[in-house]
Each structure stands twice: as C-alpha cells, then as structure tokens.
Amino acid sequence: MFDAKIRPLIDPPLNAIGGGLARASISANMLTFAGLAIGLGGAAAIAFGNFGLGFVLILTNRLLDGLDGAVARANGPTQLGGYFDIVADFAFYVSVPVAFGIVSADNTLAALVLTASFVLTGVSFLAFAVIAAQRGEETAAHGKKSFFYSTGLAEGTETVIVLSAMALFPAYFIPLAYGFAALCVLTVFQRSALAVAQFKG
C-alpha cells in the first residue's frame, strides 16, 4: 500500500550507496544472501527470546534488501537476481512468525495463521506476475523490477513495520499477527479482483 509512495524518498539515497557498492564489485546477489542470513539470524534471536537483537537484525535485513535492488539497478537487473530476491524475501517473512511460535507455545496458532497468510499473499503476487508477464504488461509503480509487481494492501513497507513492531512489543504478537493476517487475506481478494479486471480479455 505504501511501497510506491515511499520509493521517491528512499530510492535516491539507496541508489547513491548502491552505485558505490557496485563500483566496489559487490553484487546484488551477495547482498541478497547476506540479507537473508541476517534476517534468519534475527528470527533465530527471536526464537531464543532476544527480541532486541531480532529487531536490529530485521531492520538490517530490510536495509540490505533495499541495497540489493539499488546495486541491481546500477549494474542492470537480472532474472536470476529477481528470483533470488523474492525467494529470500519470503523465506525471511515466514521465519519471523515461526520464531514467535517457537519462543512461546501461546503464539503457535497465531504464528500458523500468519505464516499461511504470507503463503497466500505470495502465491497471489507471483501468479499475478506470471500472467502479467505472459501478456507483456509492465508497471513502474514500484521502480524497475525483474518482473511485474502488483500493488496490494500488504506490501513490503507494511510487512517490515509489523515485523518490527512484533520484535519491539512481543507481548502483542498475537493481535498483531491476526491483524496483519487479515490484511494479507484482504490483499489476496484485492489482487484477485484486479486480476479479474485486468486479465478478463
């Protein structure tokens, strides 16, 4: 929902740093895998009850996720890089609710519901991208990407805000998880309605 709105604000500094990293021969894929490792480390910290460290590593993961895109724009995006980026994103996303399910049995049901909602959102996102690509459709709403990014209520910005809030306020994980899961499901319905309108021809 907010991704397209904040891009004009965050892209200039990210592109400046990304250009420097590209000139230093640091590839986008290197940043993607480093970010994934750090993000999974954040989930592991949460699973062991170290929520402060988890919060820091979550933010670091998201920073590297922004920088890998900036480096890709500097060097020219690749399809393989786009593949690694989206797989790393969703691996990180699902790891956080799983970690909360591990740290406390009270969180298990909410963690399962949130993980399932992430899967549904990811499937709708990728299915939309595949069909849009087959139809030759493009969008620049989220910047230059390796494949079609459809807009939704629950996007990257909303996800990082909620995951950060969970790490900062772990006692509120359950209502945050159910609330965001509902937003993810609404996103699936929204994207499905968009698919009906856009792909009916």
Report H helices in the chain: 3-23, 28-47, 51-75, 79-103, 108-134, 156-168, 173-199
- Cα–Cα distance measured from residue 125 to residue 71, given in angstroms and rounded to the nearest whole number: 23
Per-residue pLDDT reduced to its tens digit, 39-84:
999 999 999 999 999 999 999 999 999 999 899 989 988 889 989 9
What burial class does residue 34 get, using C-beta atoms within 10 Å of its C-beta: 0-12 exposed, 13-18 middle, 19+ buried? middle
Residue type, 193: A
Entry pTM: 0.85
Per-residue pLDDT reduced to its tens digit, 142-154:
455 565 666 677 7
The CATH number of 3-199 is which of 1.10.3130.10, 1.10.10.60, 1.10.580.10, 1.20.120.1760? 1.20.120.1760
